[in-house]
A and B are shown apart, each in its own frame.
Chain A
Amino acid sequence: MGEEEVKQEEKEIKEKPKEKFKLSFDYFNESRLGIFALIIGIIVAIFPGLPAFIKGIGMMIVLLWGADSVRKTARYGLGTGVPSIGVLAMGFGIVGGITGIAVASLSFGTLVVGGVEIAFGVLAGVALLALLGFVSGNLANGDKFINMKIPGLERGMTELGIAGTLAVLIETSIISGTYAITNVLPNAINNGVIAVIFIISAFAMLQPLNTCLGADERRGRTLLMSIEIGGIASIILGLVTTLTLSAVQGVPLIVLGAVVWVVFYRAYMKACLEEAYAVKGTGLIKTLGG
């Protein structure tokens, strides 16, 4: 008996550090993450003069929030609809982003205080899409209209609208360095970079839940992947920025993306392999009789 107890104690000691290692987002629950990402996203979005490196971090936080909103909206058994929600968010985002950039490039849209550009105009796009998302969520969920009865759809759609818009705004400002439409059009839209902005941000939002979907899905694990895709997005945007702006802006972004990708890809794979029922090198499937 004594030996067994000692063994059990040893087991407990061995198991404890494993649990500590688990990367989780327990402090940043859904509301806290939303508020945090909204504040960071707006600060990064209205200062287009920030270095691309910092904008890259802001972009990852906003994409993380978007992924969390997709999870919030789609986890009640939407199944095959998960990718559509992510694409919807970026559809919102493109509309809101273009609106915000258009307002910011008007004379009253951007203030210059002591040489620092503050583009308040982009908030018009954010506000418009928050409203549009709320209205469409209500239309889909309201008793008088489609009546889908998905819990939290109104909030989810509002957050998706804001997160999508902020993602497009930040990524556009990474590439063109300013919101002046004369700069944005040749650098981000006419050369088609808007397509890669659209698809990779959509993936950062839709793929985490779509890929981790299942009975034992865990929020901490799901969100790790969103940051990992944010790393890939940073690498690609860094390559584009090196050409459109300068290597001084682009190379740190590429390095940031590479480091983030390696760290979070490892963390995600480790978390999945540890939490799976079993990890086998190879083997036959167990037959129906046992």
Chain B
Amino acid sequence: MEPIVMLFAWMLIIAFLAFIACMFEDLESDIGSQSNPNSQIQLAPEMGYIHRYFNKAISGEGLSYALSCTISGTIAMLILLQLESVGPTAALLAIPVGAAVGSLVHMVRSSVCHVGREAAHKRFEQPIYLDVLYGHLLPIATHNFLAVICITAIAYIQSNLGILSGVAGASNPFPLPLLCLIWGLTVGAIGSSTGDIHYGTERAFQDKPFGEGRRVVYHGQICRYGACGTRTSKDVAAFCAKYGGPATGLAFGLIVLFENWRTVIGMTLGGVAGPGWNPSLAAAWGIGIGIVIAVVLVILARTIEKWARNKYGPFVGE
């Protein structure tokens, strides 16, 4: 098969893995409350609203995913170095083992968060519910594992793309752990910026008026009595798997897809490392197509916003 077709196929696989990774990243961050929703979960006891949410304040999502993905990438790299004689099939062992270690570390980090934050709420009479603590650790680890294994696989494919696709020089010059750090930060950032909005409107604040920001008087008034208060944060995953998770995954997958797509088309038009290879022509085509994609996306977003405003009424306060 032509190398450029193989290159495009691998890039589609990367985009698909990115979709899965970001979807599970968002669902994992919704089990418990990380980054933006966490501020309201943290505020709730201080306002007198005792709750049964899992307080997962490891750090922002970007950093905590950078941690688990980088550890996964480092372990995978060590195993790959040990099994160099086996060849590329060593990745079949290295990537899952690395991801398992990464998600184990993530689980340990989230277990200390809940007890730490709730113990610091002593004067607000917030107890530590042990079933909340134990019940959430396994869902957190499993969702995290799926996200981390996809990110490690993406980083592995990227750093070996030249060998895998047959296009010389297509490999990323960065080593595996560094790629995992960058991808982990990115997947956490997208999951935080896109996914938290869905989490907030779908679960934590179900009575939010259209288009309104959270007023200060309502701070901490999270939904605590879902199914008579017995529900805990792990049910949020099932709740958000309908819209929030896939939408977040789609956002990240499309970013990766468009980015790779324009690069590959630009490379094809520039003559892909053949006799007529012209890097500056390839870069120019790539940038041009990128600008066209951006303009189309802006127009689409504006159209959807207009449609939503017409359909669901004006923003509160307008």
- Measured CB to CB, the residues of A under 8 A from B are 79-80, 82-83, 86-87, 190-196, 198-200, 202-203, 206-207, 210-217, 221-222, 225, 228, 232, 236, 239-240, 243, 265, 268-269, 271-273, 275-286
A210 to B61, CA, bound (A): 13
For residue B186, give the distance in angstroms from its CB to the closest CB of chain A.
Answer: 14
Whether A210 and B75, one on each chain, are in contact in the complex, defined by CB atoms closer than 8 angstroms, is no
A198 to B51, CA, bound (A): 35
Whether A215 and B112, one on each chain, are in contact in the complex, defined by CB atoms closer than 8 angstroms, is no
Beyond contacts A80-B60, A191-B77, A199-B70: 17 other A-B pairs, Cβ-Cβ < 8 A, are: A83-B59, A195-B73, A206-B59, A213-B117, A213-B120, A215-B120, A215-B122, A215-B123, A216-B121, A222-B116, A225-B112, A243-B78, A268-B116, A271-B119, A273-B115, A277-B122, A285-B224
A265 to B82, CA, bound (A): 31
A218 to B49, CA, bound (A): 23
CB within 8 A of B57: which of A192, A210, A243, A272? Answer: A210
> B residues within 8 A CB of A196?
70-71, 73-74, 177
A273 to B112, CA, bound (A): 11
For residue A236, give the distance in angstroms from its CB to the closest CB of chain B.
Answer: 6
Whether B58 and A210, one on each chain, are in contact in the complex, defined by CB atoms closer than 8 angstroms, is yes
> B residues within 8 A CB of A207?
58-59, 109
Q: Is B207 an interface residue (CB 8 A)?
A: no
CB within 8 A of B228: which of A200, A228, A284? Answer: A284
Whether A240 and B128, one on each chain, are in contact in the complex, defined by CB atoms closer than 8 angstroms, is no
Interface string of B55-90 (1 = CB under 8 A from A): 001111001001100110111011001100000000
Whether B116 and A282, one on each chain, are in contact in the complex, defined by CB atoms closer than 8 angstroms, is no
A278 to B229, CA, bound (A): 18
> B residues within 8 A CB of A194?
178
- Knowing A87-B63, A195-B180, A202-B63, the reply to whether A280 touches B108 (Cβ < 8 A) is no
A239 to B126, CA, bound (A): 40
Whether A283 and B129, one on each chain, are in contact in the complex, defined by CB atoms closer than 8 angstroms, is yes
Whether B59 and A198, one on each chain, are in contact in the complex, defined by CB atoms closer than 8 angstroms, is no
Whether B129 and A273, one on each chain, are in contact in the complex, defined by CB atoms closer than 8 angstroms, is no
For residue B221, give the distance in angstroms from its CB to the closest CB of chain A.
Answer: 11
A83 to B176, CA, bound (A): 24
Whether A192 and B229, one on each chain, are in contact in the complex, defined by CB atoms closer than 8 angstroms, is no
> A residues within 8 A CB of B59?
82-83, 86, 203, 206-207, 210
Mostly helix, strand, loop or mixed at chain A's interface?
A: helix
Q: Is B216 an interface residue (CB 8 A)?
A: no
Whether B121 and A79, one on each chain, are in contact in the complex, defined by CB atoms closer than 8 angstroms, is no
Whether B78 and A239, one on each chain, are in contact in the complex, defined by CB atoms closer than 8 angstroms, is yes
A83 to B71, CA, bound (A): 18
Whether A195 and B70, one on each chain, are in contact in the complex, defined by CB atoms closer than 8 angstroms, is yes
CB within 8 A of A212: which of B58, B111, B120, B224? Answer: B120
Q: Is B175 an interface residue (CB 8 A)?
A: yes
- Give the residue name and chain of the A residue nearest to B60 (CB): A83
Interface string of B88-110 (1 = CB under 8 A from A): 00000000000000000100110
> B residues within 8 A CB of A202?
63
List the 7 closest A-B pairs by CB distance, nearest first.
Answer: A214-B120, A192-B175, A192-B177, A278-B127, A272-B115, A83-B59, A272-B119
Q: Is B46 an interface residue (CB 8 A)?
A: yes
Q: What would 9 A/B residue contacts be, using CB atoms closer than 8 Å?
A: A79-B39, A192-B179, A195-B175, A199-B63, A207-B109, A213-B42, A216-B119, A273-B128, A277-B127
- Give the residue name and chain of the A residue nearest to B36 (CB): A80
Whether A269 and B112, one on each chain, are in contact in the complex, defined by CB atoms closer than 8 angstroms, is yes
Q: Is B230 an interface residue (CB 8 A)?
A: yes
Q: Is B148 an interface residue (CB 8 A)?
A: no
> A residues within 8 A CB of B180?
195
Q: Is B113 an interface residue (CB 8 A)?
A: yes
Whether B75 and A225, one on each chain, are in contact in the complex, defined by CB atoms closer than 8 angstroms, is no
Whether A200 and B58, one on each chain, are in contact in the complex, defined by CB atoms closer than 8 angstroms, is no
A221 to B51, CA, bound (A): 23
Centre residue among A210, A221, A285 by max chain B CB count within 10 A: A285
> A residues within 8 A CB of B78?
239-240, 243
> A residues within 8 A CB of B46?
215
> B residues within 8 A CB of A285?
50-52, 224, 229
A192 to B155, CA, bound (A): 12
Whether B121 and A215, one on each chain, are in contact in the complex, defined by CB atoms closer than 8 angstroms, is yes
